[in-house]
Amino acid sequence: MMVDINNSKSLPEDDVEALAEYVGVSKFAFKNLAHSGTRSWEQYYQSLLVDPYEYYQKNLGQGVFRYIQTHPDMDHMGGLHRFFWQEKVPLSNFWDVQHKKELDEDSFKYGPHAYVDWCVYQLLRMGVGPEDVQGSDSRHRVMHLLRDADGEYWREDDIQILAPTSELIDQCNEADTYNECSFVIKLSYGGRTVILPGDAEKAAWNSILSHYAKEDLRCDILKASHHGRKSGYHEEAVEAMNPSTVICSVGKKPSTDATSEYSKVADRVLSTRFHGTIKVTIWHDGDIWIDDHSGKRIATITT
């Protein structure tokens, strides 16, 4: 199972600014002056980034049974073309939101994202994959699922869909902004629970809180919504989930970061910006190991 994708082999300018502030140097020094051997701070932090396909090759390599596109924003689908079209990773099921978002090629002229990824997304959501060795299009199953949808495989895999709802999707289509229609996924294993909320914001969290008892939202690991920004932080929802660990998939931007808010509830708040790839292993007995990009143990949670 794979949830979203984003190529990450270079640092966005916002990251450079935040990290330069974090290590206490100017942006020029961060980019150009060596801090360790011959590497600049920028080169050091770039070394923490992991290409999604390279990670797949090293750690998985048997095809993707279930790909979940949480919502149709480009920073959650950067690299679809390479991953599924160029590298031809086999795909069985594609989860997608039935939205009405449209983009044209001109939308990509001055931004960091690639039009080809949007084109591949349109094909994938129609069930069409790349050509196989015989020259025929590969096919996969497309699934448009809503809250508490029941069906084969994901119930057996202890996956629960907390959002979206048709109402949230309609609101996004009307506003032409799509964070609030994100898939919010609850995964359970070994008596532990993980919640992956895409970029869910206030409306989605309010909808979830109105539908579920707070004890049904308890989790051990929370992937911070909307990259750890304050816009994805919902005090009542975070208190209900009561995570011991929060992981931010980009992390600390001084003007928008919610680390201090999450820290009021969680034992620890971790960011990929500072730790690189973060790997969480849940064992069948409920023990949890959390490692950084180098394999160093950041935290251990025991039963």
105-114 pLDDT tens trace: 999 988 888 9
Q: How confident is the model at residue 265 (pLDDT cuts 50, 70, 90)?
A: very high
Can you list the pairs that 176-181 forms with residues at least 24 positions away whose Cβ atoms lie under 8 Å?
176/101, 178/71, 178/72, 178/73, 178/97, 178/99, 178/101, 179/71, 179/73, 179/204, 179/226, 179/231, 179/232, 180/204, 181/71, 181/97, 181/99
Cα 244 to Cα 226: distance, rounded to the nearest angstrom: 19
Q: What is the pTM of this model?
A: 0.90
Q: What is the pLDDT of residue 8?
A: 64
Indicate if the pLDDT at residue 253 is higher than 70.
no
At 21 the pLDDT is 82
Lookup: tokens for 215: 């004890």
Is the model's pLDDT at 245 over the cut of 90?
yes
Residues of the chain above pLDDT 70, percent: 97
The backbone region for 55, taken as left when phi is positive above 0, alpha when psi lies in -120 to 50, beta otherwise, is alpha
Q: In the prediction, which pLDDT does 9 show? A: 62
- 91-95, 99-103, 130-134, 284-288: which range is least confident on average? 130-134
pLDDT digits (tens, 9 = 90+) for 165-207: 999 999 999 999 999 999 999 999 999 999 999 999 999 999 9
Model pLDDT, residue 276: 84
pLDDT at 303: 82
Separation of alpha carbons 191 and 223, rounded Å: 18
Q: Provide the 3-class DSSP secondary structure of residue 72.
A: coil
pLDDT number for residue 134:
75
Which pLDDT belongs to residue 207? 98
Residue 55's pLDDT band (cuts 50, 70, 90): confident
Q: Where are the domains of the chain?
A: 1-144, 146-303
Mean pLDDT (the chain, rounded): 91
Q: How far apart are CA 101 and CA 219, in angstroms?
A: 32
243 within 8 A of 219, measured Cβ to Cβ: yes
Task: Inform me whether the pLDDT recorded for 267 exceeds 80.
Answer: yes
pLDDT (tens digit per residue) in 116-173:
999 999 999 999 999 876 778 889 999 999 999 987 777 788 999 999 999 999 999 9
Range with lowest mean pLDDT among 20-29, 206-215, 294-303: 20-29
